[in-house]
Amino acid sequence: MAKRSRSSGRWLAEHFSDEYVRLAQEKGYRSRAVFKLMELDEHDRLFAPGTTVIDLGAAPGGWSQYAARRVGASGRVLALDMLPMEPLPGVTVVQGDFLDDAVFHAMLEAIGGRRVDVVLSDMAPNMSGNRNVDQPRSMYLAELAFDLAERVLGPKGSFVVKLFQGEGFQEYVARARKAFGSVGMRKPKASRARSAEIYLVGKGYRGADR
């Protein structure tokens, strides 16, 4: 067996002592990430029964689980990830790489012209540790998520996207301010302080005159 590095040992120790990991297990959620979305929802009221949601970068499925519960039987959740994801009640799963044009279009097809109320993206690339590589990769994923949101969101739709502060961040926020009636930047409690991630929440989509 390969020897575990000291840093991965530290990660495991932190993971198991993390109160959100414990809580997620206790409550039957697939990931600790669910507590980030819960806090965003409490603050920004993202979901209502009957709403249609797209969840990008959904595996293992915490956000989709929570969204499916919030939108209820009359709502719809469409989840995408490049990794396989165990099925969830009320969630349609598409597996594929969002950077692949065919996958982007498969998502549009799965929506079938319906208007979407909420687009979520918790996507993040595999971090190399080199900011010059990681930052453009994560911004590119966020840009593509924005492109999809602009194609599918209905009037007053909402958009939640994980961003990393660095090059391209300010321009991204400026783009969001043009497209949404309100834009907030949130750092949920469950987001680790040492992580540079931050969530942009755009509400009141202005551009849905389709």
Ligand X SMILES: C[S@@+](CC[C@H](N)C(=O)[O-])C[C@H]1O[C@@H](n2cnc3c(N)ncnc32)[C@H](O)[C@@H]1O
Q: Which residue ranges are tagged as binding site?
A: 61, 63, 81, 97, 122
Determine whether 3 is an active site residue.
no
Instruction: Mark the binding-site residues for S-adenosyl-L-methionine, compressed into ranges.
Output: 61, 63, 81, 97, 122
Q: Where are the beta strands (DSSP E) in 13-104?
A: 52-56, 76-81, 91-95
Binding segment for ligand X among 10-18, 94-102, 148-156, 169-177 (CB under 6 A)?
94-102
Query: Which amino acid is it at 82?
Result: M
Enumerate residues 6+ apart whose C-beta is below 8 A from 123.
56, 57, 98, 141, 142, 145, 162
Q: Is 94 in the site for ligand X (CB under 6 A)?
A: no
Q: Is 99 in the site for ligand X (CB under 6 A)?
A: yes
Q: What is the rounded distance in angstroms from the CA atom of residue 98 to the CA atom of residue 56?
A: 8
Q: Which of residues 53-92 bind ligand X (CB under 6 A)?
A: 57-63, 80-83
Q: Which of residues 148-207 bind ligand X (CB under 6 A)?
A: none
Query: Of 20, 35, 98, 164, which one interacts with ligand X (CB under 6 A)?
Result: 98
Q: What is the rounded distance in angstroms from the CA atom of residue 163 to the CA atom of residue 138?
A: 7
Of the listed 27, 162, 187, 203, which one is catalytic? 162
Q: What is the rounded distance in angstroms from the CA atom of residue 207 to the CA atom of residue 28?
A: 38
Binding stretches for ligand X (CB under 6 A): 30-31, 33-34, 57-63, 80-83, 97-99, 122-125, 141
Catalytic residue IDs: 162
